[in-house]
């Protein structure tokens, strides 16, 4: 029998698995930060309040988790997730020569590595955020997982490399055959506008540790 306490424990364990609080997990999924607060788990009359299927679907999507992982947490088991080592460098290093090939895939022997749940993109890599230019979305020390193979749509957060060797994390505002508009994550920094011929590659951020 599915119990109220088991479902909420699974939510808490999923959050912990990704280094988040319950409110951090809700925020990551685009939900109200109080959605999973303990005060929301019972009504004023003491009746059980269950998380909605929509909220569960959103957190699974935001953490790139499978329903089987969540079910494992419900039953008090560890998710049977395959891990592999993902290349890691600091964002400040990413513009240097020798870290990416012409296609924008990680190359060379200077990368560190971190274990990460396996994803379909074998060329995925991680960047460690340095400084305050990405605040308040990404803070100094946060890790972002980047997928060169992921499709990119308007509004996605992306990592872009220019022909000048600059590498930056921005939000894609608009892209046409000739131009690209990038919105700065930190409102104190200017938005950026480029001709497409000035862009070497653009990759989508698919996960962040926050």
Q: Is the pLDDT of residue 152 over 70?
A: yes
Kindly list the structural domains of the chain, giving each domain's residue range(s) and its CATH number in brackets, ordered by start: 4-74 (1.10.260.40), 83-209 (2.10.109.10)
Residues 6+ apart with CB under 8 A from 28: 18, 20, 59, 62, 63, 208, 210
Residue 1 is predicted with a pLDDT of: 59
- 31-45, 55-69, 79-93, 177-191, range with the lowest pLDDT: 79-93
Residue 111 above 90 pLDDT? yes
Across all residues in the chain, what is the average pLDDT? 87
41 C-beta neighbours (distance < 10 Å), count: 17
- For range 97-121, the mean pLDDT: 84
Measured CA to CA in angstroms, residue 189 lies from 8, 117, 163 at distances of 40, 33, 21
The per-residue pLDDT for 115 is 78
Tokens found for residue 140: 């100094």
- pLDDT reported for residue 13: 87
**Chain center to CA of 30:** 12
β-pair type (157-162, 199-209): antiparallel
Q: How confident is the model at residue 76 (pLDDT cuts 50, 70, 90)?
A: confident
Measured CA to CA, the distance from residue 51 to residue 166 in angstroms comes to 43
């Amino acid at each position: 029998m599915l119990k109220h306490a088991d479902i909420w424990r699974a939510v808490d364990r999923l959050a912990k698995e990704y280094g988040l609080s319950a409110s951090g997990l809700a925020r990551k999924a685009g939900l109200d930060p109080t959605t999973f607060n303990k005060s929301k788990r019972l009504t004023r009359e003491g009746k059980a309040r269950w998380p909605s299927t929509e909220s569960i679907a959103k957190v699974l999507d935001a953490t790139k988790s499978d329903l089987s992982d969540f079910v494992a947490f419900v039953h008090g088991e560890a998710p049977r997730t395959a891990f592999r080592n993902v290349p890691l460098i600091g964002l400040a290093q990413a513009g240097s020569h020798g870290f990416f090939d012409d296609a924008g895939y990680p190359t060379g022997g200077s990368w560190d590595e971190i274990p990460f749940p396996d994803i379909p993109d074998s060329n995925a890599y991680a960047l460690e955020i340095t400084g305050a230019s990405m605040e308040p979305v990404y803070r100094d020390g946060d890790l972002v997982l980047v997928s060169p193979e992921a499709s990119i749509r308007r509004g996605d957060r992306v990592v872009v490399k220019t022909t000048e060797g600059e590498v930056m994390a921005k939000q894609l505002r608009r892209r046409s055959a000739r131009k690209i508009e990038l919105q700065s994550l930190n409102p104190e920094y200017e938005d950026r506008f480029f001709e497409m011929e000035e862009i070497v590659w653009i990759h989508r951020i698919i996960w962040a540790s926050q």
